[in-house]
Structure 1
Amino acid sequence: MNRRTVLSALAAFTAFPVVSALAQTPAADPLPSWNDTATKKAIVTFVERVTKPGSPDLVRAAERIATFDNDGTLWAEQPIYFQAAFAFDRVKALAPLHPEWKDKEPFASLLKGDIKGALAGGEAAIFQIVTATHSGMTTVEFDQIVRDWIATAKHPVTGRLYTEMVYQPMLELLAYLRGNGFKTFIVSGGGIDFMRVFADRVYGVPPEQVVGSSGKLNFELRDGKPVLMKLPELDFIDDKAGKPVGIQMHIGHHPIAAFGNSDGDLQMLEWAKGGGGVRFALIVHHTDAEREWAYDRHSSIGRLDKALDAAQAMGWTVVDMKNDWKKVFPFGSK
């Protein structure tokens, strides 16, 4: 028996049990925090249809665009939007420089801890708070202020850092999609400069893949150095019908999958489902009062009314947080 015959025989002998063992080893579950319900199956089925070679629904990688809302979809949004908490803290920090705020609404109420009273002025009051706390500085200065705040600020109910209040199942979903050739974008009503500070570290979404509301900027030379100043003027609101507009302006591709949780996401989901081929739309329904919060149609935060009706009428996938998720947050056991 020559050397080649011996090596071939050895290869055949040793290869068989290895291949057999591999064939019997199940693939790791990419979505371990999701229960094996129809929701999880719908996600996996969609991904396989658009990524499996030879599939009649195969979508080339360049067109595998998935857009995600942030507040209430990727991280919690109760009892107030986290960026609002940032703005309220900034009012307190800036108060010594503005003694007139003690007698001027909505700042007077905020400084007394009366959030409801501060917001009684509606959109005008919110605009005053946002412009006072998000402008009058360079983009670099604002970036550092957000970094310092988010490194220490804690949720008023759980006592956890806001960046810990992310949904573990959604983190897994982001990774699962990217592992299958998707490019994931955040498309949120929140401030674009605010979210870009932490999106990469928390979600794996780089700054250039974040779409959000924005204020106007102005190029200036300060001591001979170029800076971008944040002005007290709104430029774009990335919410409701603004979301498809923001997607077109910033991304330039029609998403084939969109994920949201409120009426503010309705048009984004409609836009994603309106293209040709296989499309996917998912609504996160907050149904778990024990591990998170239970709210939908009558909530002032993250109201889910028209979008829930649309999801049911159009056959979109709806996450029942209580029953579909084994675990909600990265911390804790459930």
Structure 2
Amino acid sequence: MKRYVFAVAALPFGSFPALADPLASWNDTATKAAIIDFVERVSDPNSSDFVPEEARIATFDNDGTLWGEQPVYFQLIYALDRLKEKAEADPSILTSDVLKAAAAGDMAAVADGGEAGLMEILNVSHSGLSVDAFQADVADWIATARHPDTNRPYNEMVYAPMLELLDYLEAEGFQTWIVSGGGLHFMRAFASETYGIPINRIVGSVTPTSYEVVDGVPVVMKGPGIAFQDDKAGKPVGIDSHIGRRPIFVGGNSDGDFQMLEYATAGDGPALGVIVHHTDADREYAYDRDSHIGKLVRGLDEADARGWVIIDMKEDWAKVWPE
């Protein structure tokens, strides 16, 4: 699925009709007005808040901000699917209770394993193969796997209003980036086609990698463990390392994005932080403070004081999913 692209056809000289609403999937609420007002101010050369194009950087979290993240992170679902396949071919890889539980689909036992158990699952499912082979495998999974609740392909579990926002920002001279806690190589396998964001504008968590020549072919291999976690305080570090500028527009949905929002809006000049608040149990899911995924506490408590905009999914979005 390719991202929505808004285009304006050539118009006869002298005709100036109003342009189509770039955020058509958004209800006409104060949230939409605040976003449009900010974009117009920073992109208008006559505005005191004008920001040159090279500094119009927008960064977005992925899980829960651009696409869904319930009932668990989609990358974990991929890891569990691949672990089960590998275990069927070679049961000896199930060297711990957590791995055995994961292969059996016992999610309660997997949750009890905590971060250490999750790392075991990721090590078995994500390492020991080249980056190219891993990304090809993720692309195959994206093409065939279906979400357990909606039965949609995972690359259709993206939020239509956020796709429109990405296009709107690009049309107004912004450079859009993904800065997410998800795996860099995992996101590279689908994000460019899904969001229209080039792979060199993706910042994510990475495993240790190494250069090797395998059967005469030079490759980069994925190893076990985590070399850099692009979450929480890691997000500003990733932004500094890969972008080199503070963003002036940031989109997130959880307290894992708090430091990225804080970093961006602490800079000189205008900046806007937005938080997707999952309030729609009918069309998607409703969760925040007590959620095991996408917990949102500090962001809700401090958004008003910091000038951040809370996107109420139920009230602000006319629709959630693309057609």
Structure-2 residue corresponding to 1:13: none
C-alpha spacing 1:221/1:290, structure 2 compared with 1 (3 Å): same
Distance 2:304 2:288 in 1: 14
C-alpha spacing 1:93/1:59, structure 2 compared with 1 (3 Å): same
The alpha-carbon deviation at position 27 of structure 1 amounts to 1.6
Structure-1 residue corresponding to 2:248: 256
Structure-2 residue corresponding to 1:218: 210
TM-score by length of 1: 0.91
- SS where residue 141 of structure 1 aligns? helix
Q: After the TM superposition, which residues 119-130 of structure 1 pair with which residues of structure 2 at under 5 Å, given as runs?
A: 119-130=111-122
Gaps of at least 5 residues in structure 1 are 1-16
The alpha-carbon deviation at position 97 of structure 1 amounts to 3.8
- SS where residue 227 of structure 2 aligns? strand
Distance 1:305 1:75 in 2: 20
Distance 1:44 1:30 in 2: 9
Q: After the TM superposition, which residues 138-153 of structure 1 pair with which residues of structure 2 at under 5 Å, given as runs?
A: 138-153=130-145
- SS where residue 234 of structure 1 aligns? coil
- SS where residue 203 of structure 2 aligns? strand
CA RMSD of superposed structures (Å):
1.3
Q: Pick the aligned partner of 2:69 from 71, 74, 77.
A: 77
Letter in 2 for 1:38: A
For the pair 1:204 / 2:196, whether they are aligned, the reply is yes
The one-character-per-residue Cα deviations of 1:80-101 (angstroms, maximum 9, x if unpaired) are 1000000000111100343235
Structure-1 residue corresponding to 2:101: 109
Structure-2 residue corresponding to 1:88: 80
Q: Pick the aligned partner of 2:181 from 189, 209, 218.
A: 189
For the pair 1:176 / 2:176, whether they are aligned, the reply is no
Q: Whose Rg is larger?
A: 1
- SS where residue 236 of structure 1 aligns? coil
For the pair 1:307 / 2:299, whether they are aligned, the reply is yes
Distance 1:256 1:301 in 2: 26
Name the structure with the higher helix share: 1
For the pair 1:323 / 2:315, whether they are aligned, the reply is yes
For the pair 1:282 / 2:277, whether they are aligned, the reply is no
The alpha-carbon deviation at position 68 of structure 1 amounts to 0.1
**Identical-residue share of aligned pairs (%):** 55
Distance 2:94 2:259 in 1: 40
Letter in 2 for 1:209: R
The one-character-per-residue Cα deviations of 1:179-199 (angstroms, maximum 9, x if unpaired) are 001000000000000001111
Letter in 2 for 1:320: D
Contact 1:168 1:327 in 2 (8 A): yes
The alpha-carbon deviation at position 111 of structure 1 amounts to 2.1
TM-score by length of 2: 0.94
Gaps of at least 5 residues in structure 2 are 1-11
Off by >6 Å, runs of 4+ in structure 1:
none
Letter in 1 for 2:300: L
Distance 1:235 1:146 in 2: 20
Contact 1:101 1:108 in 2 (8 A): no
Distance 1:285 1:72 in 2: 9
Contact 2:119 2:225 in 1 (8 A): no
Contact 1:193 1:214 in 2 (8 A): yes
